[in-house]
Amino acid sequence: MLVSIIVCTHSLERYYDLVAGIDSLRKQSYLGIETVIVVDHNEPLFKLLTDVKDAGGFPTEVLVHNTVIKGLPASRNVGVYTSKGEVVAFLDDDALADKNWVAELVRMYVDFGATSAGGMIKPYWGAVQRPDFLPDEYLWLIGATHKGFREDIGTVRNTFGSNMSFLKNKIDIVGGFKTEFGFSGSGLLQGEEADMCSRIHLLTGKMMMYNPGAVVYHKVFPERIKLKTLIKRLFYQGYSKRMMEESKVAALSDESGFLKFMLLTSVPDYTYKPLLKLVVMLLFTTVVFVGYCYRLVKSYV
């Protein structure tokens, strides 16, 4: 089974992180891999990567430039179109894959007959100090698997974008990622992963398989843990959730379950500890709700 790993990138500042991520893919225990690097509307970056490839720096990787619709979903579509694998997997340009990552994803297709599969994302803090106020329940803000997410092998609605995979023919049938969702430059709309997984679920009757043994490490940068940045992302998370609901494809059952987990488990637990994380958790939840309501009102105006 050939697995095409699609890595989308858009910034020269991420060059060395991209190189490190590609290196982690070269060290995979599973050998049937094709790596596709998609540059999103950045001619200087594409030229740099082309020069590096011509000099032998990316000898086996496929390099393509997305010059059509700007944004992560469209770049992922370009990668899917370019790829040759039976399975397509996605890794962020600031992430590192565990050496058994692809092998553990493939196991979901071979052993469980999956149509889509994903795994755990662990934060890679490096020299960055984790903020004392950040609750484990909100690690998804930095692109990591949070407390309250499934912990064993089984089905989920979706995993996060830096650790997900699909049968390519199923993506083709449902028409690719919707470009109205997803990151684009400074835009923080989200939800394309949940939308894609939900459409494939409707097509095949199978939900995504989650394997916590398929591990990716997502780098955390100082600017991502600034309170202003986190608040902005929280707002757009709520905004995006309402967009998902409007599409009538992706149900918000995961969000309802997560909210129930926080109310019944996290809140009582934090009540008997220093209250900072409890206050922050309630603040964060409120901001998500405000973003949701803003989109709700906007859709009727």
For residues 28 and 9, what is the distance between their CA atoms, to the nearest angstrom?
21
pLDDT score at 2: 98
User: In the chain, pLDDT over 90 holds for what percent of residues?
Assistant: 62
CATH superfamily of 3-222: Spore Coat Polysaccharide Biosynthesis Protein SpsA; Chain A (3.90.550.10)
pLDDT score at 214: 98
Lowest pLDDT segment from 1-5, 41-45, 130-134: 130-134
Alpha helices in the chain (DSSP H): 15-26, 43-54, 72-82, 101-112, 168-174, 192-204, 227-247, 253-261, 267-271, 276-300
What confidence tens digit (pLDDT) does each residue in 77-121 have? 999 999 999 999 999 999 999 999 999 999 999 999 999 999 999
For residues 22 and 53, what is the distance between their CA atoms, to the nearest angstrom?
13
Return the half-sphere exposure (C-beta side, CA atoms, 13 A cut-off) of residue 248.
Answer: 0
Statement: residue 46 has pLDDT above 90: yes
Q: Which residue has the higher pLDDT, 255 or 201?
A: 201
pLDDT score at 238: 84
Pairing of strands 116-124, 87-90: unpaired
Statement: residue 6 has pLDDT above 90: yes
Q: Which residue has the higher pLDDT, 151 or 285?
A: 151
Q: Which residue has the higher pLDDT, 70 or 249?
A: 70
**Structure tokens belonging to residue 15:** 């060059």
